[in-house]
């Protein structure tokens, strides 16, 4: 099969996905706020009265383009990778996917970019007193998250470890994140072509 045929078929497949699959299964338009609230599970609901949360996953990739490889190289994973940012309900339903973002962009910077600007989907979908379950990777977003009233527990300045109360609150976040980790595992298992 020639390169032109592969490009044409790939473009056709992408258009079909964008027109037929994505509007019905991804994005804040495919699910109502009430449906997200109804997907809340017992444990997160009891711990947080939770309505929605977010996480990112990473896709490993290969490229012969040096500048792209340089921008996407992760010193943490020692690999070239892209980050996908997922909004997932407590039962593992993927509400929306943002990205891909380069490996050098922190989780906090990604969330800041998504929350800034009045035209963001997040501003009309989420309401005050909604809770995001986030890990400490979002520390770059501390001022913005505090202004929205959400922030995971972190060490106070000069402290060597979390207090017992802070550690217990941090564990609540860990308990509730398992559905997202399952979704990330499925993406990595099922879509190996992008890893």
The pLDDT tens digits of the residues spanning 12-42 come to 998 998 888 888 878 777 777 777 777 666 5
Q: How far is CA 106 from the centre of its chain?
A: 12
Residue 91: per-residue pLDDT = 77
Radius of gyration (Cα) for the chain, nearest Å?
Answer: 19
Residue 154: per-residue pLDDT = 62
Domain ranges within the chain, ordered by starting residue: 1-30, 31-194
Residue 28: per-residue pLDDT = 74
What tokens appear for 153 in the block?
A: 């527990």
Global pTM value: 0.60
Residue 155: per-residue pLDDT = 63
What tokens appear for 173 in the block?
A: 């976040």
Show Cβ contacts of residue 33 under 8 Å, excluding neighbours closer than 6 positions.
Answer: 125, 127
DSSP 45-107: HHHH----EEEEEEEE---S-HHHHHHHEETTTTEEEEEEEEEE-TTS-EEEEEEEEETTS-H
- Give the Å distances, CA to CA, from 97 to 6, 59, 82, 84, 116: 26, 13, 13, 7, 17
- Which residue numbers in the chain have pLDDT < 50? 47, 50-61, 193-195
């Amino acid at each position: 099969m020639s390169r032109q045929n592969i490009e044409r078929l790939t473009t056709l497949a992408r258009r079909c996905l964008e027109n037929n699959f994505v509007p019905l299964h991804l994005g804040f338009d495919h699910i109502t706020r009430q449906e997200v609230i109804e997907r809340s599970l017992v444990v997160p609901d009891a711990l947080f009265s939770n309505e929605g949360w977010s996480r990112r996953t990473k896709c490993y990739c290969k490229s012969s383009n040096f500048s792209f490889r340089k921008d996407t190289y992760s010193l943490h994973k020692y690999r070239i990778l892209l980050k996908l940012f997922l909004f997932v309900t407590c039962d593992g339903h993927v509400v929306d996917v943002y990205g891909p973002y380069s490996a050098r962009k922190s989780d906090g910077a990604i969330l800041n970019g998504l929350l800034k600007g009045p035209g963001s989907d997040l501003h009309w979908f989420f309401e005050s007193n909604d809770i995001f379950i986030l890990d400490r990777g979002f520390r770059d977003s501390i001022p913005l998250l505090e202004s929205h009233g959400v922030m995971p527990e972190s060490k106070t300045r000069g402290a060597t470890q979390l207090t017992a109360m802070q550690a217990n609150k941090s564990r609540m976040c860990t308990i509730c994140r398992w559905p997202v980790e399952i979704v990330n595992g499925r993406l990595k298992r099922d879509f190996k072509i992008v890893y």
